[in-house]
Structure 1
Amino acid sequence: MALFDLPLDQLRSYRPSFPAPDDFDEFWAKTLAEAREHELDARFEPVDTGLTGVQVLDVTFSGFGGHPVKGWLILPAGAGEPLPVVVEYIGYGGGRGLPHMHLLWASAGFAHFVMDSRGQGSGGWAEGGTADPVGSGPAYPGFMTRGIEDPHDYYYRRLMTDAVRAVEAARSHPLVDAARTAVAGVSQGGGLTLAVGGLVPDLAAIAPDVPFLCDFPRAISLTDRMPYREIGGYLQARRADPAKVLRTLSYFDGVHFAARGTAPALFSTALEDQTCPPSTVFGAFNAYAGEDKSIEVYDFNGHEGGGPYQQAIQLRWLPGKLRAGRDA
């Protein structure tokens, strides 16, 4: 696929004009306060995986509404003192999968917490184990339009709340150093990374790769690729609802979370990415409030982005950020 979005020099200065709702911060403060009315109840059960270089713990914690959310905590074998932790969020449609799919960060000496995505991982590329017990009104197949007529009912209110609670669950383990917490993810995982970066004020670093859920008005009008196209498919049938839909989406836009994030940040984008167009990623990057930020650009790649090359950059970048928490 040839380049289809803005030229790179324009991307570097692009800023969306989609304002955050006046009650954005109040909405999220209330949402998280309601979630915290439920005990976190984080449980860690050892799992025999046959892996000798890591210790694997099967995690269950209380997310949005007190609903049980699954995860993995993967530790270097023999860890005896608190470690910096990378909390990872999964791409669209996938679940936490199997532990041996997640060996990178423990191999680098970090604790690694992998959050399952509620309701996902049944027809995608990695199995999930977390139900979403909340129903919704009319929706297009997928997750993008579930409850989209009201921000209180929207699917991503639940998933983003789970993502914040996952940080709290990871930090509750005695072999995790809470002061040295990073969050990371690719695509949907990158969008969740930005949300958590804007909602959790004391992170040591964030690493959103080719992030999804950014600059919704531009994304849904620029690309016809799934999952953004789910919103267009919904609006094909419900022609009177665009303003209502965009209002809901404004509470979940990575651009608005980025404007509230301050931790050191390493973004990535790819200029041939039609799934998460580069202008939507640069919209979030340019809005990011933290001064310590950088973005890797992959000129001839699509939604795979940098893949292992980006991981190699993260492996060089992240240790310095986690060595002494926010003061690194």
Structure 2
Amino acid sequence: MARFDLPLDRLRTYRSASEEPEDFDAFWSKTLSEARTHRLDARYEPVASGLATVEVYDVTFAGFGGHPVKGWFVLPAGTDRPLPVVVEFLGYGGGRGLPHTHLLWASAGFAHFVMDTRGQGSGWATGDTPDPVGSAPAFPGFMTRGIEDPFTYYYRRLFTDAVRAVEAARAHPLVDAARTAVTGVSQGGGITLAVAGLVRDLVAVAPDVPFLCDFPRATTLTDRDPYREIGNYLKMHRGRVDQVHRTLAYFDGVHFAARATAPALFSTGLEDLTCPPSTVFAAFNAYAHEEKAIEVYDFNDHEGGDTFQQAAQLRWLPARLRAGR
């Protein structure tokens, strides 16, 4: 696929037409306050992973509604003092998988907390966290589950899980809570932006080819899933466009980015049909912290920089983690 979106000079100034709900902050304050009425109950069980360079723990904590959410916690072997932590969120359809697939950040000398994704984990990596909340009729996938109302939408539960994951990671005695970074690819990048807007004391944010940004443009610009799930839902449920876009506005990465308080490193691929570059730049251009950068991969689709972006993160993130706030 050749380039289909705006030219790069226009991308650098592009602004989303997504309208922020007047009660955006109140909605999320209420949501998180309700979640915190449940004990976090973060539990870490050692795992015999067969790996010599890291120590692995099977994590369970209380997410949205007090529902149990799984994760992995990975430390450099022999850790005996609190370390900065990287909290990672996962891409669409995937789950936490197996521990040996999560070695990067512990190998760099940091604690690494990987959050499982409720209800997902049957696409490209296995998951272990069910989503016990039902919804009205939805198009297969997760984008339209509960989309009739922001209080029932799937991503309200998932974004709340993500904030609680940061709290669970910080609760571990071998984590230096003052030095916390968040990262993720695609859906994980969108979750990363949500956490950046909801958690005020992070030291770094690294959304890689982020999904869930600039819904008004994304849902009409690309016909590739997962955004197309929304179009397919509206194809059947005629007349609900305004209602759906009202719900999605509470979950748009653009509005979370406008509340971010930590330095950020983004990435985008200029031929990305899954998360079009204009939708990524919409969040990047709205991002509130003055220290921000974006890696642009000119001829790449949704893989973006892939391992090259990991290398960029390894150059950028450690100095911020070690310095703290």
TM-score (norm 2): 1.00
1:130-160 Cα shifts (integer Å, max 9, x gaps): 0000000010000000000000000000000
1-side partners of 2:321 and 2:102: how far apart? 19
What amino acid does structure 1 have at the position aligned with 2:94? G
What amino acid does structure 2 have at the position aligned with 1:120? Q
1:63-106 Cα shifts (integer Å, max 9, x gaps): 00000000000000000000000000000000000000000000
The structural deviation recorded for 1:324 is 2.2
Which position in structure 2 is the counterpart of 1:217?
216
Which position in structure 2 is the counterpart of 1:139?
138
What amino acid does structure 2 have at the position aligned with 1:290? H
Q: Which moved more, 1:315-324 or 1:250-259?
A: 315-324
Is it true that 1:292 corresponds to 2:280 in the alignment?
no
Is it true that 1:254 corresponds to 2:253 in the alignment?
yes
Which position in structure 1 is the counterpart of 2:189?
190
The structural deviation recorded for 1:231 is 0.1
Which position in structure 2 is the counterpart of 1:268?
267
2-side partners of 1:13 and 1:2: how far apart? 22
Q: 1:37-56 to 2 correspondence within 5 Å?
A: 37-56=37-56
- Which runs of 5 or more residues in structure 2 are unaligned? none
2-side partners of 1:172 and 1:192: how far apart? 20
1-side partners of 2:88 and 2:16: how far apart? 27
What SS does structure 1 have at the residue aligned with 2:265? strand
What SS does structure 2 have at the residue aligned with 1:181? strand
Which position in structure 1 is the counterpart of 2:119?
119
Does the 8 A contact of 2:87 with 2:114 survive in 1?
yes
2-side partners of 1:206 and 1:268: how far apart? 12
1-side partners of 2:105 and 2:140: how far apart? 34
1:2-39 Cα shifts (integer Å, max 9, x gaps): 00000000000000121210000000000000000000
1-side partners of 2:72 and 2:322: how far apart? 23
What amino acid does structure 1 have at the position aligned with 2:64? F
Which position in structure 2 is the counterpart of 1:163?
162
Q: 1:299-314 to 2 correspondence within 5 Å?
A: 299-314=298-313
2-side partners of 1:305 and 1:259: how far apart? 24
The structural deviation recorded for 1:233 is 0.3
2-side partners of 1:18 and 1:249: how far apart? 9
Which position in structure 2 is the counterpart of 1:227?
226
1-side partners of 2:139 and 2:312: how far apart? 37
2-side partners of 1:49 and 1:288: how far apart? 39
What amino acid does structure 2 have at the position aligned with 1:59? V
The structural deviation recorded for 1:240 is 1.0
Which position in structure 2 is the counterpart of 1:149?
148
What SS does structure 1 have at the residue aligned with 2:173? coil
- Which runs of 5 or more residues in structure 1 are unaligned? none
> Runs of 4 or more off by more than 3 Å in structure 1?
none
Which position in structure 2 is the counterpart of 1:76?
76
Is it true that 1:24 corresponds to 2:24 in the alignment?
yes
2-side partners of 1:151 and 1:111: how far apart? 34
1-side partners of 2:220 and 2:17: how far apart? 14
Which position in structure 1 is the counterpart of 2:33?
33
1:285-322 Cα shifts (integer Å, max 9, x gaps): 00000001000000000000000000001001111111
Does the 8 A contact of 2:147 with 2:244 survive in 1?
yes
The structural deviation recorded for 1:262 is 1.6
2-side partners of 1:230 and 1:289: how far apart? 30
Percentage of identical aligned residues: 77
The alignment yields a C-alpha RMSD, in angstroms, of 0.4
1:236-288 Cα shifts (integer Å, max 9, x gaps): 00011000000000000000000000200000000000000000000000000
2-side partners of 1:318 and 1:7: how far apart? 29
What SS does structure 2 have at the residue aligned with 1:140? coil
TM-score (norm 1): 0.99
Which position in structure 2 is the counterpart of 1:278?
277
2-side partners of 1:284 and 1:125: how far apart? 26
2-side partners of 1:99 and 1:125: how far apart? 15
